Structure 1
Amino acid sequence: MANGFRNRAERIALGAMATAGVAVLLADLLGWLDEMAPGGTLPKITLLILSTVTLFLLMEFDRLKVLDTMHEQVSRLDIDGIEGGLRRERYDGVTRVHPNFPKDIFLDLLKNAGREVSVLQTWIPNLADFESELTRAVADRRAEVRILLLHPKSLVANLRDRALRTGEPGPQMDVMGTLRILKSVHDRLPEQLRHRLQVRVYNSLPSIAVYKADEHYLVSSFLHGKLAIQSTQIQVHGCETAMGREVQDELDTLWGIGREVDLRDPQRSIDSMN
């Protein structure tokens, strides 16, 4: 509103100056100026120059208004949108790299997840850190939760277990321990929501570890001698980015070949699989 008032005032002032310049020019042509100001040649020239400049500014008034509105336009820029676009273009969705699993960041992502939570792991050694929040994601926000674990009786499970203990005694895989925690989550959920928590085991080479909350991913590798959560974590945003699509394709592929675990009795369910 202040800009509008100033623009009107400037237009009136410029119009008045232009009118005065034209009046001076006419007065000079009619000889009135000499009578009012004898010998005033320099003032005449000055007035004529000012009139010319004023007329030019008046004609360019709309273009000059751009300078007045520039600050307002800059303040309305979607900085986050621009940043996100550049990130998708230059980094294929990668937003940050963490030296190890960022527990607090994932908890924040999990708290805001309203559609989907997925975890792809061999087993989940840090499940206790977000067990309660995982329960709330289903119970309070009706999120779909998909958990993928390595089949505990597969040959790959034995190889991964040996890889974890390379060089010195270290952590051992505990798929059944993970399933026991997931069973407790299942049992705490209202019966009508239990179908939203789904667990499958896959008998295949573990490719990457993934923790997903809606369109946010934390991705790491299975290295010798350390857990995936102790490895470098790549944070990715956007299912449609190059990195996001690749991770999502891997999740969907392993989900397709996985065998469903009945969380009412995980041990029996695993034992019944050929």
Structure 2
Amino acid sequence: MSNETRRRSADVRRRVEQIALGLLATSGVVVLLADLFGWLDALAPGGALPKVTLLILSTVTVFLLLELDRLKRLDDVQDDVKALDTSVRTKIDTLNDNVEAHLSKLDVDAIAQRLKRQHYGGVVGVHSRFPEEAFTGFLERAGDELVILQTWIPNLHHLRAALRKALVDQQVSVRILLLHPSSPVAGLRDEALRAVRDPALAVNVKASVESCLAGLAQLNGDIPAESRARLKVRLYNSLPSIAVFKVDQHLLVSSFLHGQLAIDSTQIEIDGGDTVMGEEVQQELRTLWSIGKDVDLLDWRTSVANISL
């Protein structure tokens, strides 16, 4: 059946319904007036009112029968609405699941880290002095290497346990660059440290480097023989520009300021050896490592004495 035919059928149906309702309403008024004037008793004495009532009820029944199909359609519409509601809810749930799945793929921390690298060259923090606890945490999670560039390591005794664990248990490569104790730079650093300090508090750089070498030799002797190859120490005879503690891709960088040790100076924390600052620091490490000379920790005094300046 075409839409036009359905429309015409609906119009006819509505017109019939309107006529039926009109007749029903009119009959009610007519019956009321007839009863008021006594015409019903004259037309059908004793049984007119029940007959009229039956007529009206029959008319209402016919009207309701005509409406059954429409009421059935209302039920169908309700079922369609429920089905539509279920479908919409299902699609909304699916959409929410898809949104959550996409959002879960967004690593917010990684995005923040990338932005830090772009805007700060890899710098992720600044410490007022060397953060031993943070450095130890980095070293405990190390999986590749530790590189230290210093004139000497004043806090070696604090780091010894972590260094031993990294060498033996984690099998991490440890490379340490120290200033040659007889280098002319040692005298210059002596002067720099005494510049704004009480002479009674002066630090002897040559003696400090030798003490550090003795401590590293002791560490080397305490670890198993198979782990010793992972510990390498070199001495350089050059002016150091920065002090560096590098654990995998984490770097702590400070400067050799007048009047204070590098570990007591401000430490710049860098995350990422491939960042702008990370690359510069690693280039400095490569340069000094290339000019450094190996120290045999089994006999460090003889080894140091044989290194020509």
Q: Indicate whether the TM-score tops 0.5.
A: yes
CA deviations 1:54-86 (Å, max 9, x no partner) are 8xx98xx97996456434433442122112211
Are the equivalent residues in 1 in contact too, given 2:196–2:258 (CA < 8 A)? no
Matches within 5 A, 1:152-171: 152-168=181-197, 169=199, 170=201, 171=203
TM-score by length of 1: 0.77
**Which residue is 2:175 aligned to?**
146
Q: 1:197 aligned to 2:176?
A: no
Displacement after TM superposition at 1:162 (Å)? 1.2
Are the equivalent residues in 2 in contact too, given 1:119–1:211 (CA < 8 A)? yes
User: How far apart are the structure 1 equivalents of 2:183 and 2:5?
Assistant: 102
Letter of the 2:304 counterpart: I
Q: 1:31 aligned to 2:13?
A: no
Greater Cα offset, 120-129 or 84-93: 84-93
**Which residue is 1:259 aligned to?**
293
CA deviations 1:92-151 (Å, max 9, x no partner) are 111111111111000000111121001000010011111111011111111110000001
Q: 1:172 aligned to 2:191?
A: no
Specify which structure has the higher proportion of helix. Answer: 2
Provide the secondary structure at the position in 1 that maps to 2:298: coil
Matches within 5 A, 1:214-233: 214-233=248-267
Letter of the 1:244 counterpart: G
User: How far apart are the structure 2 equivalents of 1:163 and 1:180?
Assistant: 24
Greater Cα offset, 250-259 or 78-87: 78-87
Structure 1 stretches (4+) deviating beyond 6 angstroms? 61-64
Instruction: Identify unmatched segments of 5+ residues in structure 2.
Output: 18-65, 68-76
Greater Cα offset, 24-33 or 182-191: 24-33
User: How far apart are the structure 1 equivalents of 2:176 and 2:270?
Assistant: 19
Provide the secondary structure at the position in 2 that maps to 1:265: helix
Name the % identity. 45
Letter of the 1:172 counterpart: N
Question: Pick from 123, 145, 160: which aligns with 1:94?
Answer: 123
Distance 1:29 1:111, change over 3 A: farther
Provide the secondary structure at the position in 2 that maps to 1:240: coil
TM-score by length of 2: 0.69
**Which residue is 2:162 aligned to?**
133
User: How far apart are the structure 2 equivalents of 1:260 and 1:145?
Assistant: 13
Distance 1:28 1:197, change over 3 A: same
User: How far apart are the structure 2 equivalents of 1:244 and 1:140?
Assistant: 27
**Which residue is 1:6 aligned to?**
none
Are the equivalent residues in 2 in contact too, given 1:99–1:231 (CA < 8 A)? yes
User: How far apart are the structure 2 equivalents of 1:108 and 1:27?
Assistant: 81
Matches within 5 A, 1:61-76: 66=95, 69-76=98-105
Distance 1:69 1:160, change over 3 A: same
Greater Cα offset, 243-252 or 25-34: 25-34
**Which residue is 1:273 aligned to?**
307
CA deviations 1:220-274 (Å, max 9, x no partner) are 0000000001111000111111111111111111000001111011111111222
Distance 1:155 1:70, change over 3 A: same
User: How far apart are the structure 2 equivalents of 1:131 and 1:62?
Assistant: 61
Are the equivalent residues in 1 in contact too, given 2:245–2:252 (CA < 8 A)? yes
Displacement after TM superposition at 1:30 (Å)? 3.6
User: How far apart are the structure 2 equivalents of 1:269 and 1:25?
Assistant: 108
**Which residue is 1:238 aligned to?**
272
Are the equivalent residues in 2 in contact too, given 1:88–1:94 (CA < 8 A)? yes
Letter of the 1:31 counterpart: A
Question: Pick from 275, 281, 284: which aligns with 1:247?
Answer: 281
